[in-house]
Every structure is written in C-alpha cells, then in structure tokens.
Amino acid sequence: MILCALGISHRTSPLEIRESIAFTKDELPEALLSLKDTIGDVVIVSTCNRTEFYSTGIDPRIIEQSLTDFLAQRFPRREEELSSCLYFYEQEDAIKHLFRVTSGLDSLILGESQILGQVREAYSASVTQGCAKGIIAKVFHHALRVGKRAHRETGIGDNTLSISSAAVETARQTLGDITQSRVMIVGAGQAGKLVARALKDRGVHQMVMVNRTLKRAQDVAQELGGEAKSFESLDDLLGTVDIVVSSTDSPDTVLSQEMVARASAKRNGSPLLVVDIAVPRDADPAIGKLPGVTLLDMDDLEEVSQVHRQKREEEAAQVEDIIEEEVSNFQEWWDSRRVVPGIAQLRDHAEYLRQQEISKTLKKMPHLSGDDIAHIEVLSRAIVKKLLHHPIAAIKEDPSYLETTQKLFNLNGKRE
C-alpha cells in the first residue's frame, strides 16, 4: 500500500485551467463518493491555487489512470490542456509534497498559514463521506502536525501575507493611498473576512460587505466595521465604490461585463479597481477591457508574492530541514507497518515449531514433574527469542530483508 498524489497548482498551470477543475464545497461530496467507488480512500484539496487528489493503493499506475480518467470525464473540454499541467507523486515524494503544502512552502504566498486550515477542511470533508480511513487518515493527521510544527519552530509565518492581505497590498500598489477609498467586499466567508481585516489594518474604514446570506455579511461588518448589504444590491453598489474585492465560492460568474459596464456609465469617469481572488473566478475577464476598469486576478498577485518570498527564503530553508526529518520519521513508521505482519508470521512459525518439538520430547519423558516441564518451556522460549532477535531487528532496520527471511524460513510454504 502506497500514497499517491495527482494535481495541478499555480506552479504548473495558469488560473484559466486551475479554475476549470476547482471544486466548490458543494461539489466535493459527489466527487469524493464517485472516486471512492473506483479507487477507495481519497482526499481532494481544492483551493485558489491548487486542486490535488491524494489516495492510497497497491498499484500507483491504476491510481494515476483512475484519477486522470475521472478528470477527463468530469472536465472533457480540458483533457488535452490538463495532461501537460498535471504532476503525479508516489509514496515518499507524495508524503514530502503534502508536508510542503501544509507548511506553506508550496503556496503562492510563501509561508502563508491559511493553507493549513484549507487542508484540514479538505480532510474533514473526506472523513464525512467515509473516504479517509486507515493509512490516509494517518498521513493527513501527520501532515497537519508538520504544518503546525513548521510555523511554531520557525519564523516562516511571521508577518506573512495571506491571499486576502496580498489582494489588499496589490490594490495599494496599484492605486497608492487607499485609506479614503470606498471598498466593496463580495463574499463574507473566511477569505472575505480576512480581506476586511486587512483593509482595516491598512486604514480603510469605508467598507461594504455583500453576501448572498445577509446575516453573515452583517456579522462581519459588525465585527470589523463597515456596512452590510444584500446580494441584490450588488448592481447598484458598483457605481458607488472605488475598489471591489470578490472572493465568493460561486461556480458561476458574479460580476459580468454587462453589470460593470452599466455601473461604469454612472461613475462619471471615476476609475474602478476589481480584485478577483476567487477560484473559479467571480469576475468575467472581459471586465478588464472596459474603459476606466482595472481587473486583477490570482495570477496578478505573483509580483507581491515574489517580494514576500525573498524575505522568507531563510526561514523556508529551516522548514525544509523539518520536512526532511518528518518525512524520514513517517517513512520509517510506514515501513515498520509493512513488515509487522511478516515479523508476526516469523514468530508464529517459530512458536509452531517449538510447540511441535516440545510435544515430541515430553511424550518420550513421561516421568518429568510439572516443574521440570515448566523449566523446559522457559528454556525453549528463551532459545527461540534469542535466535529471532537479530533477524527481526534487521528486518525492522531494512524491510527488504523480509522477503529473504520468508524464503529462508519457508514462511509461505506448508508447515511440516
């Protein structure tokens, strides 16, 4: 049984492709159950910068083919493009990749901690559907602990940007002073809340929260300041704000070209900045072609991420050391788990032979007392234990010895 990982990320594909195979929270259950029927246990990590599948099985080729077939059936229009963007890792490479993800080393914003919560949510969604048991559960529990350790023992997360704060920083770099700007935040989920907090930290106080569920928008507005409006107000509000940051979980476009064009006509030439950090994208890309409208999406955060990355490289090297140690520890546990049945088989075989020989001997020595028999039992057990000590220790240290041991002791043959 080995761990496999298949996916795409900001490192291998543009936003246009990433968003096309992203899974919303509502879509995850169906996808998990579909894969459970074909490959068994699986976890899908789908965020703004990656969609990855983790699964365990005996044959990695079958897992890889099953996952690529799943993507081809679900997203047939992207099959050819996906083939050049997908990466596939097996066992130690897959474990290391997951540990790097939870530690923030594989993020667009190096060291950001938001991914840790996203991986936890992905794992929980899989558990809910009965798709994360046994080995894969152990892998994800360990990966989450590695992520926590990386942030606890290094400065990788100190003063780091999240995607949400990077969006605000990008807006500041584009417009300059934004403290007097009126900002509309579309989507009051975790990302939207982080945007509001980042704006407040930047001195922005004119904020309006828009969400399909008005109560959630009101809760965020009450906590962080600003006002809350219903989703139906979106069209009218576009004509009154300077910046829009959109971060919904909608599978469909939220800001259409027609909607923004209507709003632009009412703005008397006032510029509008739209920052779209949703995947799939909330804003129609055509919005960026409208006069007076600047549209930025996830790929446009790359410049901010690179500046941040330079500051975090030294900390990242320390995290890499932690990951190497944790991968080694986990692989050692994995290997030991693989040899446990073989060691038990060896011990059972030795015990069977011991009992056979003791039985033959005692039949020839009926005069022995109970104490004598007990002494012989203790002696024979001690001899077997000492004989097996070094072979078992060697197997634990190097699992490749297991197959040789099975042949030497004829463990897979018939007992004589």
Please, are residues 138 and 144 in contact by the beta-carbon 8 Å criterion?
no
- Using alpha carbons only, give the angle 190, 172, 264 rounded to the nearest 5 degrees: 85
Edge-to-edge strand order for the sheet containing 42-47?
42-47, 50-57, 2-9, 87-90
Distance CA 35, CA 67 (A): 8
Q: Could you tell me the two tokens for 290? A: 């409208």
Burial of 374: CB neighbours in 10 Å, binned 0-12, 13-18, 19+: exposed
Q: Is 131 a catalytic residue?
A: no
| Set 4, 48, 85, 131: catalytic member | 48
The residue type at 67: L
Question: Which residues carry out catalysis?
Answer: 48
